[in-house]
Structure 1
Amino acid sequence: MYRFLRYIRQNKVKSTVILLMLIAYYFCLPQQLFKDPTATVLTSRTNELLGARIADDGQWRFPSNDSIPLKFKTCILLFEDEYFYKHPGFNPISILKALKQNLSSGSVKRGGSTITQQVIRLSRKGQPRSYFEKLKELILATRLEFRYSKDYILNLYASNAPFGGNVVGIEAASWRYFNRDVSNLSWAESSTLAVLPNAPSLIYPGKNQKRLFEKRNRLLKKLFENGTIDKLTYELSIEEELPIKPYPLPQITPHLLQKTVNEHKGKRAKSTINLGFQSQTNGIVRQHYNRLRQNEIHNISVLILDVNSREVLTYVGNSPTDKAHQNYVDIINKPRSTGSILKPFLYASMLDAGDLLPHTLVADVPTQFGSYQPENFNKSYDGAVPANEALSRSLNVPAVRMLQDFGLDRFYHYLKQLNLKDLKYNTNHYGLSLILGGAESNLWDLCSKYASMSSTLNHFNNNSSQYFSNEFCEPIYVKNKAVDFGQLQNEKSIFDAASIYLTYESMKQVNRPEEDESWEIYDSSQEIAWKTGTSFGFRDAWAIGTTKDYVVGVWVGNADGEGRPGLVGVQTAAPILFDVFDILPKSEWFTKPFDEMLEVKICNKSGYRASSICEETELRYIQISGKKTKPCPHHRLVHVDTKEKYQVNSSCEPIENIKNKPWFVLPPLQAFYYKNKNPFYKPIPPFREGCLSDSDISMEFIYPNQQSTVFLPKDFNGKTNDLVLKVAHSKPELELFWYVDNVYVGSTKEIHYMAILPNPGEHTLTVVDELGNELKHKITVAD
């Protein structure tokens, strides 16, 4: 050390020069050798190529991979640089041979460059091939050897070497020339790619095929001679044909690829896509598209989520239609009218809040809220229907009435907690039509929420009846990290487990498409909670279903919003939904969350908690919050004679002959429609003559609704038809007297229909029964 310091003091100028040269040598190599833009590459969860988007400079240049397959590695070293793992970045013997040959010929005939030097030359684009440039490459090559391992340098070469045309790098070349991953290439194919970088502008598939064939076979012969391949492999390899032209790259998930370009441009993204599911779903969509386009329905999107990991397993952004029908549009994230697809959220919200029990009867009668008059799809009414059946049958009127009773603001609060991103306006903008398609959402958000509800139920049962704090999180499609569900806690995120379970029990009963109607009799069939939706004007058809493990969402329609007859959820989207579920592994049904439920006595006829006078009751499990619901309001004690034919009281019948009978009674308007669908419904008997009572008298207009506008149709002769007024009375045997604007027009008994022909304008309708009870109604007759 002393001598070294003494030498420096004695040779300051020389030492300074040496130091500067060392510093220059240390910093001569750029930190990043290659700055060229790369293609965006999307692979499946098991690294199969799903698609790629060309780099911004028009080159097929994939991002560098971590390793090189053994076959190509063996071929490229044997062809380009046999002593790669032995030299320090340059090969003196090769350089001397090349120098001798070039000097004797008077031109550059041989390069003598190692793979390390070629990496440097590739990074220094456009530099002339001179001896001075060779010297620079040599210096930089040695510096490169100090910085990186041999394997990394070889990987740099394989990823950036030109392979002819606009193909750069071994991965892109393998897909473009052989339509497969480089790890699956044969010896002949690996040899073909190994010789291409040597003269990529002169020889590549489709150009100078004879020279390429000869060069490849010479390399194969060397592989045989050095014992790398046996004689049979060699003989078979030299018989393999060369590729003639580049293949197009796979486009298995083109819309997810575009999403990846937007979010991870120029990178390699390993997705969560299951290639098997994706390919089969693509086939299902293609099959249904070929049928639906006959009805000018051109667009379909399908999303499959893994409930437990929240990973995207299949992503079909659109059907294989053409540009004229917007095949480039990714429907999955586009807002569309929801139709009835939000109804399960309302049902779950009311259960969660304790405002409803699963079988509670809800009104299904003609209804009008101001100028808004919802109708059921089949234009008929049940009078009263169990809430779970109203959901499974997707009845519109009960849904709107349930929303009215629950409160629009309360339900909107639940939806905002769900973070449906397309709900951008306040409740006044949507009104009660919110539940029937007045709002918009997208397939991504909707599937995400159903997956969150399903995993809430799964996690509750698997984690000692606790909830995760971040249950309603976003799905992932890039497999770089797991979803963070948050911390376990006793408090629910949005819906409690029992409300979700009871909602799914109702959704399980939704009538399946015709070909699946008898699913319950087959052992191979699985239970699925699912729901369809159809937007106004037949523009959007939805079907979303969930099992314990998977959520499948389907949207069908036209991207430009054109409606089509027959574009109904159960007819167009549901068949796709069940075809997709058929390719997925079967799942067990959800476990009942007993810790969030309690067993209570329920009135069989009304679905409410049984009162003391309910005749037929049953013990059923309900959500804990349901214990605050009121007892059955539809049963009352009625005093009847011994034959139960008439109502009586002490004024006309001895007390010992009076029978106290519990009676199931609906309001008149509900009863009017209910008895048509339920032939065993028995209205309260009339009072026997001589003991008529005026208690419990009620009547309601069936048609028209209060404050409604009525249009009077005309027949073929141009004559205006009558307006038929209809009233339901709790005691239809009473005579009713009808007035229009205080002018008497007639009376009815038993069947209370009255035909009138009013002039255009506003009118007041008055009905008075023979006991003096009065009912008033205002209507407007359109001109």
Structure 2
Amino acid sequence: MHQKLKITNYIKRHKKKTILVVVLLIFYVLCLPNRLFTKPTSTVITSNKNELLGALIAKDGQWRFPHNDSVPQKFKTCLIQFEDEHFYEHPGFNPVSILKALKQNLQAGSVKRGGSTITQQVIRLSRDNRPRTYLEKVKELILATRLEFRASKEKIITYWSSNAPFGGNVVGLDAASWRYFNRKATDLSWAESATLAVLPNAPNLIYPGKNQHKLLVKRNRLLKKLRSKKIIDSLTYELSVLEELPQKPFPLPQITSHLLQKINKNNNGKFVKTTIDKKLQIQTNLIVNNHYKKLKNNEIFNISVLVLDIKNRKVLTYVGNSETTQKNQKFVDVIDKPRSTGSILKPFLYAAMLDSGDLLPNMLIADVPTNFGSYHPENFDKKYAGAVSAKLALSKSLNVPTVRMLQSFGLEKFHHYLQKLKLKDLKKNPNYYGLTLALGGAESNLWDLCKSYASMASTVNHYSEHSSRYFKNEFCEPTFYADKKIDFGEKSSEKIIFDAASIYLTFESLKDVNRPNADQNWEFFNLSKQIAWKTGTSFGFRDAWAIGTTKDYVVGVWVGNADGEGRPGLVGVQAAAPILFDVFDKLPNSEWFEKPFDEMTEIEVCTKSGYRATENCEEKTVEFVQNSGLKTKPCPYHVLVNVDVSENYQVNTSCERLENIKQKKWFVLPPLMEYYYKDKNPFYKTLPKFRNDCLGEQKNVMKFMYPTEKSTIFLPKNFDGKKNELVLKIAHANKEAVLYWYVDDTYLGTTKEVHEFGVNLGVGSYFISATDNFGNEIHQQIIVKE
């Protein structure tokens, strides 16, 4: 109490002095800025193991990495021994050093020695290395003591290490370590650490071929001091002095340059840890570079690759583009750019039809010449099989069956499924795309497509791992930020988009995919890895796609030209698939997906047609299909017919006694499907005709092969400038039938066996009809345009 009274009386007697002291204290407290260093820094990205992937130079042209709170022990020891031996004892300045420096400078008549501590040097660096006057030294001393109050000694060391100049445009230990030794600071040797510790004292020494001897002397003197203080042993010293000095700066790594640019947009000047697997990224870069060297000979210049970890939805590899030239747009990141999809959307249609109960995996789909108005889809090889299973249509990537499936399923319905996948480039309404939607009429990007395949794979995984439950946020965005954890949402008993069984059956269809390679035979990839994969080729050979998934990884590849130029040979199976499998070779093997039994049911399926079996099916098999498969219609292609004992003719009671009539189950396809099917299937038996003495009638015995349905015909001109004739084609179930041809009730002529008839027509609308010698008739309305 007595002491407080004395202080109070003193303040009353010395008000001016007290106010001055208070003002000085306030000034002292506030004299140090909240942020010492405000200069721009480089954007730096690292791998999932904190390995440097790349960096962008700061806005002021300096290689200045963001502040690092960690300084390697070797460098810290070298720095303190060289710059400030008593760093841990002084309050920010060293009076002994200051007096020695003052004495030496007065004797020399100029500033020869600074006597600054590390703390004072931090202040000088923060003040942009102002002229070294005595007044400036006083300011630095005051600010240094203030900094000692605010920050720990370790923090002050990090300030120095992050902002000291290391020659040229290199600032800070992290940048210097990579520029001069091509490795991170924690991996530096004693000699390398000593080199960088002495360098900021005279940073111009590092220039190649300049003052190297002086730098060597300074480094070795420091190493000798470390030995004398027993910080390093004699052997370490002897080996260290033998190490060469750096001769020229190394370029900083640019292992995933396009991802660096993408991250820089929202994280300029920051240190960002990514999800990238550095080893896999480097391997993928090499794969892309090797394929680029081959593809550029065909003037194909751009490649992008994306690899996702399905379990955590993290990006493991990001190749935005190949190392091509600036002329060929090497800086364009193609991964998120919209490109024509080709056939890469077909698995989504297959999965959607399975999910809705409109399809079974082996259900026969017509593969015949088809017209939808003026739209005339064709298979890649321009051949037709008559009928193929839906599974085979997907694995062989047949266009005609796909379009017929899409028409049957519904364009708007399929478009709705795609919208649920959040394909951001699918911006138009269904009618804009039309039936080309599944063949490349729409655009998407590698990111969204890989995301969708990963989400589908994860749906099956989660369903099996979590007692037949789904996650509400399954179809989410992947991430390349290491600190971001994907939230899959709450569990649910309801499917999100596709049920697990439909996805599983889709992957089963894609697992054994053998892609047709133009006019060559099937290409078989005999790999130990089980991969569900799909290729795609856009119209005009502008885009080649390949996307594959295992239980653990999705790999996506796009190949083409960023400017959209098409090239012969730019086909998914030729250009993109080899890259896909080369990348999968670098990934660990995965087990195949577990079958989601709770979403599946056993049913009898007709072996030949793939439909739900009826009593008329001769051969049946039991298959596990999706639960919604119970809604599919029964087999329409097996009928019960009456034949004679020889089974060569159909008969009925009008021509044969009842005891001589034999009932036979017969697999019958419609005429047009049968016309192509029997060439590919030699064991297919055409339904026998009625015996001549029978009163019977065959239905659905013939069908137009061309034109099909209501068509608009554009007739090209030949070399003489004359229009080519229109060739009408009909398939007839009876080889002995005679057809009588008419146009608008005008008789044209007859055909036997091969029913093709050429006719010259002008512009207009015509009614084409044909009648056979059994009285059956078929007709078609067509429009001819120039």
CA drift of 1:276 comes to 1.1
TM-score by length of 1: 0.96
Instruction: Name the CA distance, whole Å, in 2 between partners of 1:624 and 1:513.
Output: 32
Q: Determine helix, strand or coil for the equivalent of 2:313.
A: coil
Instruction: Name the CA distance, whole Å, in 2 between partners of 1:388 and 1:516.
Output: 16
Q: What's 2:3 paired with?
A: 3
Superposed CA deviations along residues 648-667 of structure 1, whole A, max 9, x for unmatched, are: 11111111221111111111
Q: Determine helix, strand or coil for the equivalent of 2:699.
A: coil
CA drift of 1:277 comes to 0.7
Superposed CA deviations along residues 163-197 of structure 1, whole A, max 9, x for unmatched, are: 11110000101111111111111111111110111
CA drift of 1:755 comes to 3.1
* C-alpha contact (below 8 Å) 1:204/1:212 kept by paired residues: no
Q: What's 2:344 paired with?
A: 341
Pairing partner for 1:642 from 640, 645, 669: 645
Residue identity in the other structure for 1:427: P
CA drift of 1:733 comes to 3.2
Instruction: Name the CA distance, whole Å, in 1 between partners of 2:229 and 2:591.
Output: 58
Q: Determine helix, strand or coil for the equivalent of 2:603.
A: strand
Pairing partner for 2:496 from 487, 493, 498: 493
Q: What's 2:711 paired with?
A: 707
Q: What's 2:682 paired with?
A: 679
Alignment of structure 1 residues 124-143 onto 2, 5 Å: 124-143=127-146
Instruction: Name the CA distance, whole Å, in 2 between partners of 1:512 and 1:225.
Output: 72
CA drift of 1:440 comes to 0.6
Pairing partner for 1:748 from 743, 748, 751: 751
Superposed CA deviations along residues 494-542 of structure 1, whole A, max 9, x for unmatched, are: 111101000000011211589995544x6xx111000000000000000
Superposed CA deviations along residues 222-256 of structure 1, whole A, max 9, x for unmatched, are: 11111122222222222222112211111111111
Instruction: Name the CA distance, whole Å, in 1 between partners of 2:347 and 2:701.
Output: 34
Instruction: Name the CA distance, whole Å, in 2 between partners of 1:141 and 1:404.
Output: 78
Q: What's 1:612 paired with?
A: 615
Pairing partner for 2:422 from 395, 419, 422: 419
* C-alpha contact (below 8 Å) 2:163/2:171 kept by paired residues: yes
Q: What's 1:657 paired with?
A: 660
Instruction: Name the CA distance, whole Å, in 2 between partners of 1:302 and 1:2.
Output: 80
Pairing partner for 1:482 from 478, 482, 485: 485
CA drift of 1:126 comes to 4.7
Q: Determine helix, strand or coil for the equivalent of 1:63.
A: coil
Instruction: Name the CA distance, whole Å, in 1 between partners of 2:597 and 2:50.
Output: 42
Superposed CA deviations along residues 310-334 of structure 1, whole A, max 9, x for unmatched, are: 1111111111111111111111111
Q: What's 2:203 paired with?
A: 200
| 1:260 paired to 2:272 | no
Instruction: Name the CA distance, whole Å, in 2 between partners of 1:516 and 1:266.
Output: 52
Alignment of structure 1 residues 170-319 onto 2, 5 Å: 170-201=173-204, 204-319=207-322
Q: What's 1:65 paired with?
A: 68
Residue identity in the other structure for 2:610: G
Residue identity in the other structure for 2:509: S
Q: Determine helix, strand or coil for the equivalent of 2:621.
A: strand
Superposed CA deviations along residues 60-114 of structure 1, whole A, max 9, x for unmatched, are: 0000122111111111111011111111111111112112222222221111111
CA drift of 1:735 comes to 2.5
Using a 3 Å threshold, how does the CA distance of structure 1 residues 168 and 205 change in structure 2: closer, same or farther? farther
Using a 3 Å threshold, how does the CA distance of structure 1 residues 661 and 725 change in structure 2: closer, same or farther? same
Residue identity in the other structure for 1:448: K
Instruction: Name the CA distance, whole Å, in 2 between partners of 1:542 and 1:664.
Output: 38
Instruction: Name the CA distance, whole Å, in 1 between partners of 2:692 and 2:339.
Output: 61
Q: What's 1:509 paired with?
A: 512
* C-alpha contact (below 8 Å) 2:205/2:215 kept by paired residues: no
Using a 3 Å threshold, how does the CA distance of structure 1 residues 243 and 365 change in structure 2: closer, same or farther? same
Q: Give me the CA root mean square deviation.
A: 1.9
% of aligned pairs identical? 65
Q: What's 1:467 paired with?
A: 470
Using a 3 Å threshold, how does the CA distance of structure 1 residues 513 and 161 change in structure 2: closer, same or farther? farther
| 1:599 paired to 2:570 | no
Instruction: Name the CA distance, whole Å, in 2 between partners of 1:719 and 1:200.
Output: 83
TM-score by length of 2: 0.96
Listed as ranges, the gaps of 5+ residues in structure 1 are: none
Instruction: Name the CA distance, whole Å, in 1 between partners of 2:325 and 2:716.
Output: 47
Residue identity in the other structure for 1:123: S
CA drift of 1:142 comes to 1.5
CA drift of 1:366 comes to 1.1
Residue identity in the other structure for 2:39: D
Q: Determine helix, strand or coil for the equivalent of 2:203.
A: coil
Superposed CA deviations along residues 723-756 of structure 1, whole A, max 9, x for unmatched, are: 4321123444333210123211112334322233
Alignment of structure 1 residues 328-727 onto 2, 5 Å: 328-511=331-514, 517-520=523-526, 525-705=528-708, 706-711=710-715, 714=718, 722-727=725-730
CA drift of 1:781 comes to 4.6
* C-alpha contact (below 8 Å) 2:715/2:724 kept by paired residues: no
Instruction: Name the CA distance, whole Å, in 2 between partners of 1:95 and 1:8.
Output: 38
CA drift of 1:131 comes to 1.9
Superposed CA deviations along residues 423-451 of structure 1, whole A, max 9, x for unmatched, are: 11111211111111111111111111101
Q: What's 2:775 paired with?
A: 772
* C-alpha contact (below 8 Å) 1:354/1:626 kept by paired residues: yes
* C-alpha contact (below 8 Å) 2:728/2:758 kept by paired residues: yes
* C-alpha contact (below 8 Å) 1:8/1:15 kept by paired residues: no
Instruction: Name the CA distance, whole Å, in 1 between partners of 2:169 and 2:725.
Output: 78
Superposed CA deviations along residues 129-187 of structure 1, whole A, max 9, x for unmatched, are: 22222222112112211111111110010000011111000010111111111111111
Comparing 108-117 with 689-698, greater Cα deviation is found at 689-698
Residue identity in the other structure for 1:694: E
Residue identity in the other structure for 2:715: F
| 1:91 paired to 2:94 | yes
CA drift of 1:680 comes to 1.3
Pairing partner for 1:159 from 157, 162, 165: 162
Residue identity in the other structure for 2:115: G
* C-alpha contact (below 8 Å) 2:321/2:332 kept by paired residues: yes
